[in-house]
Amino acid sequence: MELPVFVVDAFTGVPLSGNPAAVCLLGQDLAEEMHQKIAAEMNLSETAFVRTLSPMDDFSSGNTNARLAFHTLSGELAACHEGDHIALDLPLNPTEPLQDKDEFKTLIQVAVGEMSVQDVRYSPGTCKLLIRLSDVYTRQDLERMPIDPGSLLRVERASGSPDVMGVIVTLRGCGGDRIDFYSRYFAPWVGINEDPVTGSAHTVLASYWSKELGKQELTARQCSPRGGELQLSLQQQHGRVSVSGQSRIVLRGSLHL
């Protein structure tokens, strides 16, 4: 059996940066075990499997709609083309102030060390902790910030604090920069030490920074070693956010099974 496979770098226009994902085109159904083995072979945080709805279709003449809807465990998610960007329609996830900062104190200290913290929020919908650094810091400070994901994992388990599935460290955009805010994202609780570029984290960041900056249209930069850039457009009345970015196909090949 030969299956077409691609590696796509998302949220970037520059090859070998952004968020890498594998896409495998299936001409037939495969057992779940085989899905898992292929994903392990690709060794990326995301592997998508695409198949036609009808045996009479092929991938060149199948669904040619500009907007595609995906039925997921999080509900229906839509993707569409916006110029040279692909936009995802995602639920907006608000944050709330911490009722008891002491229960997160050690986790925050392990995450950012001695750096000054301006705000800390929690997103109950995603179980993500948002830590905003003081405005005195720069993008370079955020990029150089050393974080030990193993220590984050150990301290959260030992503290008995509310569930944390990811830590977002964020910083306001620097003066004169077209970027509204920067971030890094760590999720060792789900096996991702540092995510290159994270759509779900920006559903939290968009809610927070929109209120802080008084803007509905935001430009964001995730400052992982690979790095990526996102455009965010909020629809507050519907509780949604459009998360868009460029993408590049960096590998085309075949799996031989």
Among all residues, which ones are annotated catalytic? Answer: 46
List the Cα angle 221/210/15 in 5-degree steps.
Answer: 20
DSSP string of the chain, one letter each residue: -EEEEEEEEES-SSTT-SEEEEEEEESS---HHHHHHHHHHHTSS-EEEEE-SSTT--TTTS---SEEEEEETTEEEEEEEETTEEEEEEE----EE-S-GGGGHHHHHHHHTTS-EEEEEEETTTTEEEEEEPTT--HHHHHH----HHHHHHHHHHHTPSP-SEEEEEEEPPTT-S-SEEEEEEBGGGTBSS-SS-HHHHHHHHHHHHHHHT-SEEEEEE-SSS-EEEEEEEEGGGTEEEEEE-EEEEEEEEEE-
Radius of gyration of the chain (CA): 19
Region of 23 (left: φ > 0; alpha: ψ -120 to 50; beta: rest) is beta
| Euclidean distance between CA atoms 52 and 80, whole angstroms | 18
